[in-house]
């Protein structure tokens, strides 16, 4: 895997900095963001707040058909620094047609401050994913799309933790006028792991409203419902005075409010407030989190 990652990385750099003349456009983007959360560890009680600083950068070369991209993301937590992470990705996208493209990427993620790994701890991993993205302009106001992805992720510090995740997204982009866009979406995923604890099936629905009063101002409102069925997380449930063994199920509801101001062609400022509520048939895992995120974007 590490050799393949190196080859793709060299291919991206070679395509971007070759002295030969190609019809590539080159760009570099930096997105610093700052998030405050009232429940960093997703606890039902004894919630802990934290502040997270994240820098998300990428460099790419794009000729319309072929796109090479290197992405780097680094997150730092002010208090709970065991959540600090560094993420590196190199990907290639091939646009077969205007409404059809394919992506292949390799990635590596590191958690530099994790001391002890247990079942619910994020840990070092690497892997790859492949995507297929398809769309159809049904009429002037409606665009339909179907996206599918398969991810292989190896948590090499955890014995028997390798995950295989196929997932799919089906949605519509409905634009009744130039000021409003409505985006409903259905998604589904299956995670299969060598460690049964992580086996799960997920499905969900979301809807997003985009308000575009001017070319430089955008407001968003979105609601997402996600159902997760765990394959091997049994717990004892007391029902009518009798104890039964149940597999855990989880519902997550997320409400987002956002606004973006495009200051210029190369800069934007955005803010988003999120309320996340998780309920489970294993009530000890219920929790609620409120987050506020402020982002800046610079594109060159």
Residue 241's contacts (CB-CB under 8 Å, 6 or more residues apart) are: none
CA–CA separation, 288 and 40 (whole Å): 10
CA–CA separation, 296 and 300 (whole Å): 14
Q: What is the pLDDT of residue 2?
A: 52
Q: What is the pLDDT of residue 234?
A: 81
CATH code of the domain containing 182 = 2.40.160.40
Query: Quick one: which of 181, 111, 85, 168 has its CA closest to 141?
Result: 181
Query: Quick one: which of 231, 241, 233, 240 has its CA closest to 282?
Result: 233
Q: What is the pLDDT of residue 1?
A: 54
Count of domains observed in the chain = 1
Q: What is the pLDDT of residue 158?
A: 76
Quick check: pTM over 0.95? no
Q: What is the pLDDT of residue 132?
A: 97
For residues 88 and 66, the answer to whether their CB atoms sit within 8 Å is no
What string of pLDDT tens digits covers the 300 residues of the chain? 554 455 455 554 454 444 444 588 999 999 999 999 999 999 999 999 999 999 999 999 999 899 999 999 999 999 999 999 999 999 999 999 889 999 999 999 999 998 777 767 788 999 999 999 999 999 999 999 999 999 999 998 876 789 999 999 999 999 999 999 999 999 999 999 988 888 999 999 999 999 999 999 999 999 999 999 998 888 877 777 777 888 899 999 999 999 999 999 899 999 999 999 999 998 889 999 999 999 999 988
- How many C-beta atoms surround the C-beta of residue 288 within 10 A? 16
Which range of residues forms the domain containing residue 207? 2-299
């Amino acid at each position: 895997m590490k050799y393949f990652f190196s080859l793709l990385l060299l291919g991206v750099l070679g395509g971007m900095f070759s002295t030969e003349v190609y019809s590539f456009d080159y760009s570099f983007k930096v997105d610093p963001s700052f998030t405050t959360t009232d429940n960093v560890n997703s606890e039902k009680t004894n919630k802990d707040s934290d502040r997270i600083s994240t820098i998300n950068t990428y460099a790419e070369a794009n000729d319309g058909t072929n796109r090479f991209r290197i992405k780097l993301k680094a997150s730092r937590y002010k208090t709970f620094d065991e959540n600090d992470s560094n993420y590196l990705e190199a990907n290639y996208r091939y646009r077969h047609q205007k409404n059809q493209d394919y992506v292949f990427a390799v990635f590596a993620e590191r958690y530099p401050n994790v001391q002890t790994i247990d079942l619910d701890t994020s840990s070092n991993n690497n892997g790859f994913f492949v995507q297929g993205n398809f769309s159809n302009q049904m009429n002037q106001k409606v665009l339909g799309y179907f996206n599918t992805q398969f991810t292989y992720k190896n948590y090499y510090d955890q014995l028997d933790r390798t995950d295989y995740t196929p997932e799919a997204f089906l949605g519509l982009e409905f634009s009744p006028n130039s000021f409003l866009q409505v985006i409903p979406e259905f998604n589904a995923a299956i995670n299969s792991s060598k460690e049964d604890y992580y086996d799960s099936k997920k499905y969900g629905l979301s809807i997003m409203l985009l308000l575009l009063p001017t070319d430089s101002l955008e407001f968003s409102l979105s609601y997402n419902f996600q159902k997760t069925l765990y394959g091997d997380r049994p717990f004892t449930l007391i029902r009518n005075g009798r104890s039964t063994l149940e597999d855990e199920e989880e519902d997550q509801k997320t409400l987002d409010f956002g606004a973006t101001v495009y200051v210029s062609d190369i800069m934007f400022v955005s803010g988003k407030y999120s309320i996340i509520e998780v309920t489970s048939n294993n009530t000890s895992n219920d929790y609620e989190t409120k987050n506020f995120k402020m982002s800046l974007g610079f594109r060159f």
